[in-house]
Amino acid sequence: VLRAFGFLLSPTSPSRRAGVLTALVGVALCTLIVYPLKSIAPVVSLGVVYLLAVLVVSVIWGPWLGALTGVLSAAAFNFFHLPPVGRFTVKDPDNWVALAAFLVVAALTSSVAEVTRARTREALERRREADLATEMARLLLRGESLAEVLPTAAARMAHALELPSAAIVMEAVEPDGRSVAFPLREGDHRLGTLVVGAETSERNLHRLQERVVPALEALVSAALEREDLLAGVVETAALRQADVIKTALLRAVSHDLRSPLTAISAAGEAIALAGISAAEREELAAVIVGETQRLSRLVENLLDLSKLEAGAAQPRREWMSVEDVLGAALEDLAPEGFQLSIDRDMPLVRADSAQLERAFVNVLENARRHSGGHPVSVRARAVRTLGRSGDRLIVRVVDRGPGIPPAQVERVFEPFYRAGTARGGRRGSGLGLAIARGFTEANGGSLHVESLPGQGATFVFELPLESA
């Protein structure tokens, strides 16, 4: 029943011709229905039957067709049913009472129906506007840049409000003959303009001005503010990060430069003493040379890191053999403590061999340092997949040290981060792994670590293989 009333009150009426037809058919049907009813009720009271037709027509088609139905009903009732039957009589007051009743009913029901219909239409519009506002908020405040989402937002608006065209621009636009411009403001500040096609209906223009533009102003203003805030946050975070790095750098310099310097200086003074043996002299000389190398590695690391952070580490990529680069890396480190196994017929890789060598040296040195005297296994192989697109070269560096707690697995690649207790930072500068990852990624590869505490750690290099 509700659905039937819903149909009666649907916001758009069927055509007028259908209305006239319904009026004629309705009056005819009512005339027919009255015949059998005459045997059970007095004829004069059966005029109410015609009210059905008047009601239906005036609800759906409004007062004028309703009135027409009333007049037709009065005429039909008079001609077919009121005595004398088959003739129009105008002096009997029954006729006038029936006609008046029909007209009043037509007027009342049609106006009630019209009010209801208007409300329904307005409710629908409001709902669409609310949906539109939600969607606009989602679009504008989602996080992409405002300039990128504005065309989509305008298109959605045009669709939802059935506008011929709509555009939202972040500048002041003067209206011309083909468009209507709504300025978007926040206070006195001009944010931009909503431009719609000139053929937009008066009703829709009113709607836009009254309800859409204020919502749009609030949203655009919020989105702009959000963009500003985000930019500020990013900048602050970058500054803070730079600050953290500077502090850490000072610490690293304080600690990691001073230890080798102390050893060199003490060994230098000791070597000049008269009472030392030849073996001691040799040992002290080795201390000086070894610590000097350590210092120069640290300096290189610092330079590399600053290059990577400045984005200045442009790789000079050329075809190279991973076997050669790993070999060179092991030579740098003195090869004891490593077990190298490389598959035969390894494909060549396009990368900067010097950068890759630094990456390998740093990871290998780190592995040996943490392996507690156990050999570090280094294994290289090529992994081929169908279609060649995912072909890659994998180097795994496996140590048998204490491993890395899960919470620190990613942090080991942060500059100056050293696994273990905060003050027990040993030997390493905390730069090597950050640099290794930086150089590997600069060459299109990746470096990550797999580890279970107590079971050592495996550093995995992956380098993409390109077809020659």
Partner 1 sequence: VSGQPRVLVVDDELQILRALRVVLREAGFEVVVAQSASEALDLAAVRPPRAAIVDLVLPDGDGVEVTRRLREWSEMPILVLSAVGEEEQKVRALEAGADDYITKPFGARELVARLQATLRRSEGARAGDEPTIVVDGMEIDLAARAVRRDGEPVHLTPIEFDLLRVLVRNRGRLMTHRALLGEVWGPGYADDVQALRTHIARLRAKIEPEGSGGRPRYIVTDPGVGYRFSL
Residues 438 and 455: their CA atoms lie apart, in Å, by 26
Based on CB atoms, which residue is closest to partner 1, 106 or 252? 252
Q: How far is the CB of 258 from partner 1 (least distance, A)?
A: 4
Token reading at 178: 């083909």
The 283-302 contact track toward partner 1, x by CB under 8 A, reads: xx--x--xx-----------
Q: How far is the CB of 285 from partner 1 (least distance, A)?
A: 11
Q: 275, 248 in Cβ contact below 8 A?
A: no
| Region for 176 from its dihedrals, namely left if φ exceeds 0, alpha if ψ lies in -120 to 50, beta otherwise | beta
Q: 191, 185 in Cβ contact below 8 A?
A: yes
Based on CB atoms, which residue is closest to partner 1, 275 or 373? 275
Q: Specify the DSSP class assigned to residue 201.
A: -
DSSP letters spanning 206-246: HHIIIIIHHHHHHHHHHHHHHHHHHHHHHHHHHHHHHHHHH
Residues paired with residue 184 on neighbouring β-strands, in sequence order: 192
Among positions 70-89, residues that touch partner 1 (CB under 8 A) are none
Q: Where are the alpha helices (DSSP H) in 253-336?
A: 258-271, 278-309, 322-333
Based on CB atoms, which residue is closest to partner 1, 293 or 306? 293
Q: 451, 419 in Cβ contact below 8 A?
A: no
Among positions 246-285, residues that touch partner 1 (CB under 8 A) are 250-251, 254-255, 258-267, 269-270, 273-276, 280, 283-284
Based on CB atoms, which residue is closest to partner 1, 87 or 423? 423
Q: How far is the CB of 336 from partner 1 (least distance, A)?
A: 16
Q: How far is the CB of 412 from partner 1 (least distance, A)?
A: 18
Based on CB atoms, which residue is closest to partner 1, 36 or 275? 275
Q: Where are the alpha helices (DSSP H) in 16-145?
A: 16-37, 49-61, 63-76, 93-140
Based on CB atoms, which residue is closest to partner 1, 165 or 292? 292
Q: How far is the CB of 257 from partner 1 (least distance, A)?
A: 8
Residues paired with residue 379 on neighbouring β-strands, in sequence order: 341, 396
Residues in the interface with partner 1 (CB under 8 A) total 30
Q: How far is the CB of 153 from partner 1 (least distance, A)?
A: 54
Under 8 Å CB-to-CB from 24, ≥6 apart: which residues?
72
Q: How far is the CB of 437 from partner 1 (least distance, A)?
A: 26
The 204-243 contact track toward partner 1, x by CB under 8 A, reads: ----------------------------------------
Residues 282 and 404: their CA atoms lie apart, in Å, by 37
Based on CB atoms, which residue is closest to partner 1, 126 or 426? 426
Q: 381, 455 in Cβ contact below 8 A?
A: no
Residues paired with residue 340 on neighbouring β-strands, in sequence order: 378
The 391-430 contact track toward partner 1, x by CB under 8 A, reads: --------------------------------xxxx----
Q: How far is the CB of 458 from partner 1 (least distance, A)?
A: 24
Q: How far is the CB of 421 from partner 1 (least distance, A)?
A: 9
Residues paired with residue 180 on neighbouring β-strands, in sequence order: 196
Based on CB atoms, which residue is closest to partner 1, 215 or 271? 271
Residue type, 239: L
Based on CB atoms, which residue is closest to partner 1, 192 or 415? 415
The helix/strand/coil state of 72 is helix
- Contact positions vs partner 1 (CB under 8 A): 250-251, 254-255, 258-267, 269-270, 273-276, 280, 283-284, 287, 290-291, 423-426
